[in-house]
Amino acid sequence: MSVRNLGVASLLGLACISFSSAAEKPPTDPPDAGLARIEALIARMTPQEKAGQLSLYGPADTNIPNNPQAGWRNGQQETADVRAGRITGLFNNAGLEGKLRLQQIAVRESRLGIPLIFGADVIHGFRTMFPMPLAEVSSWEPALAERTARAAAVEATADGFRWTLAPMVDIARDARWGRGLEGVGEDVYLARQFAAARVRGFQGSHLSNADSMLATPKHFAAYGAAEGGLDYNPSEVSERTLREVYLPPFRAAIDAGALSVMSAFNEIGGIPSTANPALLTGVLRDEWKFKGFVVSDYTADEELVEHGYAANPREAAKQAFMAGTDVSMQSGLYMRYLPDLVATGEVPMARLDEAVRRVLWVKYKLGLFDNPLRGLDGPPAAARAENPEFIALARESARRSIVMLKNERMLLPLPKAGTKIALIGPFAEGTTDLLGAWSLFPGQTAPVGIDQGLRAALGTHSSLTIVRGSNVESPLPGGIDAAVAAARDADVVLLAIGESEKMSGEARSRSDIGMPQAQQDLAEAVAATGKPVVVLLSNGRAMALKGAVRNARAILVTWFLGVQTGNAIADVVFGDFNPSGRLPVSFPQTAGQVPYYYAHKRTGRPTPEGAPGTLFKTRYLDATNEALYPFGFGIGYAPVRYDNVELSQDRMTLSDTLRVRATVTNTGQREAEEVVQLYTAQRAASVTRPVRELKGFKKVRIAPGASTVVEFTLTAADLQFIGRDMKPTVEPGEFDLWVAPSAASGIRRHFVLTRD
Ligand code: NOJ
């Protein structure tokens, strides 16, 4: 280990970084002959073949969408590399035919016959595109995410992919960052549930099943903490924040069985994650006992040179590999340099064998050794699109992802008959901007646009006028006049505005998270007609809403909802579905408040409750500290009331279980679906604690006029935090607790935790 690496290790409180010996082989379930087979193979492999097992590429002759063109290779080279054992697998190479051909070459013509692994960015669907991952977190139903991940795996494995470069489990608290939409929101607890659910969904009941995909929690680590919300930027996080906030979703994904992890592009405290031994070996291997392999992000090893961390590509390969990045994506650096690095003794052969062993073991667990051609010689996968079961699931998931923020004087739901509706905005018509980033593969199920969904719901009642009014980021000549005329002639306006799908995703950070000016102007003009306005917000992030958008009578957050966007929106607008989504990210009052998240620290000068203007307190001169719409917030068509919050005891010991009960009553006329949330905050501890932290939630259905009792349990383990020694700890003390409909409300109680 270099002196530099030692420095990192001690920064993270990790004394030693080691690589395991052959004696510490990964366990299998059940113990089997596979390990012996792997060892026998390793014994026969040349250093070049070993490096080949650690080299992954995108498809030849293809400009891979969603990635820069780097390390681009032609088909001849690709075939030759497969034949020579210089490739472990390919990613995003859609189509069965090509995969079958290459796999046959790998197993029949390469010297050792080691099968390839085919991976893909299956992020929120394959043929049937589901809501973007963050949208789906709004459902607060991890089981739903498990089902959509399962469906995606069924479709992607039918195209020969057995490995997904997902789920993204990066906590994101800065709405400027473009990739928040691919992830799990701002909260650690919620993120952990979704991370684990998606891994279970992708991997299925057993990794060797023909329709199971190896899951890859990414991007390890703290990629979502990019400074200024700027993609690829350094993440300035303390070790405590890293351990308390950014690492737990990865841990949850690994505990759920994920056997590959992707290292991130970013640096933390001067050390690029792809070459950070304290993270990749210290945390992953030594602490968490992770048995799978680590794959770099796309050319992330090569980028160590641009980071100014490695002097040249050879050094970059060495740094990344020795830190614990087992597989190199796209750069080709491992193939180019590892054999020589081993020959010179700069990289021990044992480390090379260790990485190869991990990769072969995972291939073995996927059943690739036993059945390398399985799934590759079936009917063309395109024939399997338009699966009615998955389309129904897409509609269910989409409508459960919609969050209603506002519904003044019960404007919604609209009656289907007798209402003249003007549907206005750049997203009113058509099938672009429905799916969001990572909708890469051919043969997708056709999406349903907003206009189509509304028309289908209205049927013969239809009185729908559609006007674009504005482009996404520029005015449309005559657009506002036409929109105003349509609004004047209508009873109600549905204003489909917001961000296009190109405005979020990788490398799509925004410095201003507001509505593009052209659309703001459109909203102002339409609002000036005095007609009631429902905003249908298309968005890939929390946005700062202002003026006519903020003041609209009703607001529905509709994100990018996937193939069933139009139908799902119609379901909610006309009341066939009662919106039940809750925000997985806070919506700030103004763009200048970001990064904004509810679980912030108090400071020594918190703003006094009820006196937000007090000077010498933690506050802006021009905005309060409250969110416009807080994390956890969302309303449905039936109002609910919380009361009778009772604790089983007001003192608990470290070994006790505290039971918390609350009565939730539906005071409306329709069935309610309510997400009842449990938060706690420790008043004083040896390390300061956030003002609130989510500790549990339950989604319950309540009949009109009925009440339900919701019960939570809390143990000391739920009250853990990272102590001064950087280890999880629980400290006796006083706690506040809330049972709440959002992070900024609820009924408060108090309890004391004692040692015994
Ligand atoms: C870069 C992205 O950061 C990562 O998430 C993705 O899996 C790779 N490109 C491969 O497409």
Residue 283 predicted with pLDDT over 70? yes
Tell me which of 593, 626, 650 is where a domain ends: 593
Query: For residue 507, how many C-alpha atoms fall within 13 Å in the half-sphere facing its CB?
Result: 6
Q: What is the mean pLDDT of residues 611-634?
A: 94
Q: What is the structure's pLDDT at 86?
A: 97
Per-residue pLDDT tens digits for 110-155: 999 999 999 999 999 999 999 999 999 999 999 999 999 999 999 9
Ligand 1 in contact with 297 (CB < 6 A)? yes
Same domain, 588 and 652: no
Q: Say if CB 241 and CB 199 are below 8 A apart.
A: no
How far is CA 105 from each of CA 22, 85, 88, rounded to the nearest angstrom?
A: 30, 10, 13
Same domain, 411 and 510: yes
Q: What is the structure's pLDDT at 29?
A: 54
Q: Is residue 427 part of a domain?
A: yes
Tell me which of 306, 330, 365 is where a domain ends: 365
Ligand 1 in contact with 356 (CB < 6 A)? no
Confidence class of residue 385 from pLDDT cuts 50, 70 and 90? low
Same domain, 394 and 348: no
Q: Say if CB 480 and CB 487 are below 8 A apart.
A: no
SS3 call for 529: coil
Q: What is the structure's pLDDT at 76?
A: 95
Question: What's the rounded Cα separation, in Å, for the pair 688 and 368?
Answer: 49
Same domain, 297 and 338: yes
Distance 130 CA to ligand 1 centre (A): 19
Q: Is residue 288 part of a domain?
A: yes
Q: Is residue 153 part of a domain?
A: no
Distance 66 CA to ligand 1 centre (A): 8
Question: How many domains does the chain fold into?
Answer: 3
Confidence class of residue 243 from pLDDT cuts 50, 70 and 90? very high
Residue with tokens 């009925």: 706
Same domain, 393 and 357: no
Amino acid at 46: T
Q: Is residue 452 part of a domain?
A: yes
Q: Say if CB 527 and CB 552 are below 8 A apart.
A: yes
Q: Which of 723, 689, 37 is nearest to 365 (CA)?
A: 37
Same domain, 357 and 396: no
Q: What is the mean pLDDT of residues 495-520?
A: 97
Ligand 1 in contact with 397 (CB < 6 A)? no
Residue 662 predicted with pLDDT over 80? yes
| 297 catalytically annotated | yes
Same domain, 676 and 733: yes
Ligand 1 in contact with 170 (CB < 6 A)? no
Same domain, 350 and 487: no
DSSP one-letter string for 24-40: SPPP-SS--THHHHHHH
Question: What's the rounded Cα separation, in Å, for the pair 736 and 346?
Answer: 55
**Residue 521: CATH number of its domain:** 3.40.50.1700
Show the domain range for 279.
37-62+75-122+161-365
Name the closest-CA residue to atom 1, ligand 1.
Answer: 298
pTM over 0.85: yes
Distance 297 CA to ligand 1 centre (A): 6
Q: Is residue 21 part of a domain?
A: no
Confidence class of residue 471 from pLDDT cuts 50, 70 and 90? very high
Same domain, 315 and 400: no
Question: What's the rounded Cα separation, in Å, for the pair 67 and 555?
Answer: 34
**Residue 682: CATH number of its domain:** 2.60.40.10
**Residue 339: CATH number of its domain:** 3.20.20.300
Q: Is residue 371 part of a domain?
A: no
**First CA to last CA across the chain, in angstroms?**
45
Per-residue pLDDT tens digits for 699-750: 999 999 999 999 999 999 999 999 999 999 999 999 999 999 999 999 999 9
Q: Which residues contact 95 (CB under 8 A, 6 or more apart)?
A: 159, 160, 381, 442
Question: What's the rounded Cα separation, in Å, for the pair 38 and 354?
Answer: 11
Tell me which of 593, 610, 629 is where a domain ends: 593
Per-residue pLDDT tens digits for 541-584: 999 999 999 999 999 999 999 999 999 999 999 999 999 999 99
Same domain, 221 and 286: yes
Q: Is residue 616 part of a domain?
A: no
Q: What is the structure's pLDDT at 196?
A: 98
Same domain, 229 and 172: yes
Same domain, 471 and 423: yes
Q: What is the structure's pLDDT at 31?
A: 54
Q: Which atom of ligand 1 is nearest to the CA of 165?
A: 7
